[in-house]
Amino acid sequence: MAAKPFHLAWFTSFNPPSWRSPWGGVSGEEWMTGEYHLSMIKQMERAGFDFIMFEDSTMVSDAMGGTQELDLKHALHSPKLDPFPLLPMLARETEKIGLIATGSTSFYPPFILARVMATMDHLTGGRVGWNVVTSSEDVAAQNYGIDKLLPHDERYDMAEEHVGIVKKLWESWEPDAVVMDRETGHYADHTKVSPIHHEGTYFKVRGPLNMPAGPQGVLPICQAGGSPRGRDFAAKHANAIVVTQPIVSKMKEYREDIRARAEKFGRDPDDVKVLFHLSPVIGETEDEAWEQHHRLFGMEDPLAIEKVLAMTAAVTEIDFGKYDLDAPFPQDLTTNGHQSVLADLMERNKDKTLRESLSERAQLGPQVVGTPTSVADQMEALMEEVGGDGFLILAAPHTRRYIDAICSGVAPELQRRGLVRTEYPHATFKENLLAF
Amino acid sequence: MSADPFHLAWFAADGFGVKSWGKTFSGRGGQDWADPALWIDLAQALERARFDFIIIEDSSYMPDTYGGTSEAYLKTATATPKMDPSVLAPLMSHATKKIGIVPTMSVSEHHPYGLARTINTLDHMSQGRTGWNIVTGSNDNAAKNYGLDDWLEHDERYDMADEFFDLACRLWTSWEEDAVVLDEATGTWGDFTKVHTVDFQGTYFSSRGPLNAPQSPQGLPTFVQAGGSPRGKKFDARAANAIISGVEGGPAKMKAFRDDIRAQAALAGRSPDDVKVLYLISPIIAETDEEAWAKRRRQTEFAEAHPEIGLLHLSRHSRIDFSQWDLDEVIPEGTTTNGHRQQLEQCIGKTPRQILREGFGQGNFEIVGSPDTVAAQLDEAMEEVGGDGFLIASRDLNRRYISEIADGLVPALQRRGVVREEYSHDTFRDNLLAF
């Protein structure tokens, strides 16, 4: 049995691509103009991708040893430009593909968020979505004058209220409010534009929005909820969910859980697409693909090791640099940071060396390696097993050559098998995303 | 004798909204107002005409000051709808190479960190052609969209703007110019010793910093501001590179305004030449002077037949409901506001009909004629004022008007040698301060 058609999307940031790669070109110097991402999205649209998604954060992290050194040396969390101004430019030179930008409910007032998103929906002809994040780093909050973020679950309470206001603002102009009657000189009918007068726990907003919503009205929402509270939020609001999960059985389990939760909230589970992170490693032959895999994830390059150690330290607050890379993964660690992450790391790596664990950590999602044809086989098999709904590609490495390997190699093979779209039948992003 | 070379810029009054609809040359302006094509055409036409920059005005509330209802505003599409200019700006800069693009963003609505980040991104994307039109909130309906009952009192809003400006500038310079090293051998993208927290604790704002992106090509964006009140001018003299001047009363008053700004800039320790005062004008241009005056008469007749249209803006800016007075009743002394002060002061002692007839919002003085006639008028005015140029504003913005300016007036000015024929630099600020 073959898998059902599934969705392809790409997960990225407005940040420097892999500037040290042999195929990095001048992207390390020129990424800020947006031209790199422009060439990327044109490729993606050709290859039948549903959307490009820009994750975002607003900090220079010093979680690694209390200094910004490694964050900046490896360009990890920083630099990162604001994705909002980039989206309209990318949309201007494409026709159908969706574009998702991240906006934090902790840092944007709901009125600004609703307005900038609705403006972009007009500018893109109905092709934007909002990736809702609550933000989790105090060092980012402090840029906005907030000493400490609310506790995890309360951040979700605030996000619930925020999203509710944004939706009300998008609906504050009735669909037929703009009448454009040349005879009576009426552009819009004021009886169909109403204040929202929201007064809640975290926000107070009068409204109405000072513009009608865009072609999609209420925009598609994207979310990445792992905790029970986050899963509920995603199941309630999201049309696309971002998941990082290397183990196939857990991919399937997660998707079924989300679908059950969506039903509990009275939604059609098919309106919630669960998309899994994937970084296929691609070569012209199987051997070349595995050699490339070794170069990327073999953890022999001290700089690559340092980079993954820094990423791990950022969440666990543990300096793994002091342990022997080829000894078993230490099992007696404690932290004040993300305790569940650390416990999970120790459990998952109890039979591995530290080097092996880093290799796994560097790869997000299940391991898929091979020629375009065999990568397509593996993706098809994964989807058959999980049940849907598609993949979010993370570039490995982020170069124009890699983007081409996916868009001119893997995606056309999936299209030939009828697994990935060859056209966008609808005008808006949301309709295309939910078409199958 | 001619004036010294001066600058031209465009003030897109009423922001990213319905620019023209229901009139002879509106085209599909009513239907297609949310399509950025008109704005891209505007940017390309004005770059062809070697303009310095385009300001996209903005406000983020539904006005209801006139008559206490949004009816007339929505009926005439006046000041609403209006979309966010910060995501229109990149489309205009992407389609051009030299002209400056200036979105309006309010210090009352944004946090300095978020605003500094967006502007920094725009300056990177435009490769050094981004400006920021600095405004403070004035209408209380906007405050209510952001959880407040009203904004701070007028002068205190400028205290807040001062602090906002200082913090934003520190964030923009929190990465030293050479912080990005791109050293392949050591695998070092950025040098952390050259990226600094700002640790700012002020009366209104605090921020840790640094910004999470390197300095943009201009470092600081080019600053534009329109403060006509004494407190506003003080802010301008300290911060602005270009000032939007709506002073009424012709060249003598314009000169006095500019001399005052220049003196205050010098007091603030800046070179007065780094602050360009640009005067709002809405020239009415046709093939002959007679045709231009006929057009002017038709516009006056329309304004008199629809007096409320002219009073809508005045009401929302001043926060005074002008529907309370009969058209021939004098606006009494002692009328005060927490909104735009300079505009209200210019109305006191006049009747609404008088204000309309004088063409409120039509700019500093009346300019009507053929391209050559208008060019001569502008040349003469600049010679008397001393500098620094004009901001073209038209509420009824359509492609015909753009072409009358870019392809008619500007070549006439170029023939007189009073405006540039080529850009001399790559960044907005360098071009603006080149003369």
Domain assignment present for B380: yes
Burial (Cβ within 10 Å: 0-12, 13-18, ≥19) of residue B53: buried
Q: Say yes or no for a CB contact (<8 Å) between A210 and B80.
A: yes
For chain A, say whether B28 makes contact (Cβ under 8 Å).
Answer: no
Q: In the beta sheet, which residues pair with residue B225?
A: B134, B243
For chain A, say whether B62 makes contact (Cβ under 8 Å).
Answer: yes
- CA nearest neighbour of B53 among B122, B148, B154, B136: B122
Q: Tens digits of per-residue pLDDT, B194-239?
A: 999 999 999 999 999 999 999 999 999 999 999 788 999 999 999 9
* Residue A319 and residue A172 share a domain: no
* Residue A356 and residue A230 share a domain: no
Q: Say yes or no for a CB contact (<8 Å) between A81 and B184.
A: no
Domain assignment present for A350: yes
Burial (Cβ within 10 Å: 0-12, 13-18, ≥19) of residue B101: buried
Domain assignment present for B426: yes
pLDDT at B265: 96
Q: In the beta sheet, which residues pair with residue B195?
A: B175
- Where do we find the tokens 């006439």? B412
Q: Say yes or no for a CB contact (<8 Å) between A211 and B80.
A: yes
pLDDT tens across the length of chain B (435 residues): 688 999 999 999 999 999 999 888 999 999 999 999 999 999 999 999 999 999 999 999 999 999 999 999 999 999 999 999 999 999 999 999 999 999 999 999 999 999 999 999 999 999 999 999 999 988 899 999 999 999 999 899 999 999 999 999 999 999 999 999 999 899 999 999 999 999 999 999 999 999 999 999 999 999 999 978 899 999 999 999 999 998 878 899 999 999 999 999 999 999 999 999 999 999 999 999 999 999 999 988 888 888 888 899 889 888 889 999 998 999 988 888 777 777 788 888 989 888 887 765 455 578 999 999 999 999 999 999 999 999 999 878 999 999 999 999 999 999 999 999 999 999 999 999 999
CATH of the domain at A409: 3.20.20.30
Give the whole-angstrom CA distance, residue A155 versus residue A144: 16
- Where do we find the tokens 């790669």? A21
Q: Say yes or no for a CB contact (<8 Å) between A109 and B146.
A: yes
CA–CA min distance B404, chain A (Å): 25
* Residue A194 and residue A336 share a domain: no
Print the domain residue range for A410. 7-279+366-433
Last residue of a domain, one of A345, A362, A379: A362
* Residue A261 and residue A340 share a domain: no
Task: Considering only CA atoms, give the Rg of chain B.
Answer: 22
Tell me how far CA of residue A140 lies from CA of A63, A145, B120, B208, in angstroms: 12, 9, 17, 8
Q: Residue B430 corresponds to which tokens in the numbers above?
A: 């360098």
- CA nearest neighbour of B278 among B57, B61, B10: B10
Last residue of a domain, one of A362, A391, A411: A362
Q: Say yes or no for a CB contact (<8 Å) between B122 and A85.
A: yes
Give the whole-angstrom CA distance, residue A270 versus residue A239: 9
Give the whole-angstrom CA distance, residue B254 versus residue B233: 14
* Residue A384 and residue A272 share a domain: yes
CATH of the domain at B143: 3.20.20.30
Domain assignment present for B352: no
In this complex, the residue of A75, A85, A189 whose CB is nearest that of residue B190 is: A75
* Residue A303 and residue A222 share a domain: no
Counted residue by residue, chain B has a size of 435
Q: Say yes or no for a CB contact (<8 Å) between B192 and A73.
A: yes
In this complex, the residue of A19, A88, A210 whose CB is nearest that of residue B87 is: A88
For chain A, say whether B247 makes contact (Cβ under 8 Å).
Answer: no
Q: Say yes or no for a CB contact (<8 Å) between B70 and A28.
A: no
Domain assignment present for B58: yes
- Where do we find the tokens 């906005």? A144
* One-letter amino acid of B91: L
For chain A, say whether B59 makes contact (Cβ under 8 Å).
Answer: yes
For chain A, say whether B73 makes contact (Cβ under 8 Å).
Answer: yes
Number of Cβ within 10 Å of residue B186's Cβ equals: 8
DSSP A406: I
CA–CA min distance A205, chain B (Å): 5
pLDDT at B359: 65
Q: Is B116:B174 a contact under the CB 8 Å cutoff?
A: no
Between A and B, how many CB-CB pairs are < 8 A? 215
pLDDT at B363: 52
* Residue A399 and residue A344 share a domain: no
Instruction: Give me the number of domains chain A comprises.
Output: 2
**Torsions phi, psi of A318, nearest 5?**
-115, 130
Q: Say yes or no for a CB contact (<8 Å) between B121 and A82.
A: yes
CA–CA min distance A127, chain B (Å): 13
What is the pTM assigned to this prediction?
0.93
* Residue A213 and residue A303 share a domain: no
For chain A, say whether B26 makes contact (Cβ under 8 Å).
Answer: no
Please spell the DSSP secondary structure of A293-354, one letter per residue: HHHHHS--SHHHHHHHHHHHHHHH---GGGS-TTSBPP-----SS-HHHHHHHHHHTTTSBH
Domain assignment present for B418: yes
For chain A, say whether B204 makes contact (Cβ under 8 Å).
Answer: no
Domain assignment present for A1: no
Looking at chain B, the whole-number percentage of residues with pLDDT higher than 90 is 79
Print the domain residue range for B389. 7-151+218-289+364-432
Domain assignment present for A58: yes
Domain assignment present for B213: no
- List, in sequence order, the alpha helices (H) in A171-285: 228-237, 248-264
Last residue of a domain, one of A318, A346, A362: A362
pLDDT at A337: 65
In this complex, the residue of A29, A145, A204 whose CB is nearest that of residue B111 is: A145
Cα atoms in the 13 Å half-sphere on the side-chain side of A159 = 29
Q: Say yes or no for a CB contact (<8 Å) between B16 and A119.
A: yes
Q: In the beta sheet, which residues pair with residue A181?
A: A186
Domain assignment present for A51: yes
* Residue A405 and residue A345 share a domain: no
Domain assignment present for A69: yes
Q: Say yes or no for a CB contact (<8 Å) between A188 and B141.
A: no
CA–CA min distance A134, chain B (Å): 15
Q: Say yes or no for a CB contact (<8 Å) between B36 and A185.
A: no
Burial (Cβ within 10 Å: 0-12, 13-18, ≥19) of residue B12: buried
CA-based angle B6:B12:B16, to the nearest 5? 155
- Where do we find the tokens 């037929």? A176
Give the whole-angstrom CA distance, residue B384 versus residue A54: 53
- Where do we find the tokens 């140029």? B389
* Residue A392 and residue A243 share a domain: yes
Q: Is A235:A262 a contact under the CB 8 Å cutoff?
A: yes
Instruction: Give me the number of domains chain B comprises.
Output: 1
Give the whole-angstrom CA distance, residue A363 versus residue A60: 23
pLDDT tens across the length of chain A (436 residues): 578 999 999 999 999 999 889 898 888 889 999 999 999 999 999 999 999 999 999 999 988 778 999 999 999 999 999 999 999 999 999 999 999 999 999 999 999 999 999 999 999 999 999 999 998 888 999 999 999 999 988 999 999 999 999 999 999 999 999 999 989 989 999 999 999 999 999 999 999 999 999 999 999 999 998 888 999 999 999 999 999 999 999 999 999 999 999 999 999 999 999 999 999 999 999 999 999 999 999 888 888 898 888 888 777 778 787 889 899 999 888 876 667 778 888 888 889 999 888 888 888 899 999 999 999 999 999 999 999 999 999 998 999 999 999 999 999 999 999 999 999 999 999 999 999 9
pLDDT at A271: 97
Q: Is B134:B156 a contact under the CB 8 Å cutoff?
A: no
Domain assignment present for B306: no
Domain assignment present for B64: yes
Q: In the beta sheet, which residues pair with residue A199?
A: A204
- CA nearest neighbour of A310 among B410, B73, B188: B188
Closest-approach residue (CA) in chain B for A20: B184
Binding region of B: 58, 104, 154, 158, 229
Binding region of B for FMN: 58, 104, 154, 158, 229
* Residue A98 and residue A13 share a domain: yes
Q: Say yes or no for a CB contact (<8 Å) between B88 and A72.
A: no
Give the whole-angstrom CA distance, residue B330 versus residue A191: 32
Residues in CB range of B28: below 8 A, 6 or more apart:
none
Helix and strand element counts for chain B (H, E): 16, 16
* Residue A223 and residue A168 share a domain: yes
- CA nearest neighbour of B236 among B273, B265, B256, B257: B265
Q: B17 to chain A: which residues are within 8 Å by CB?
A: 211
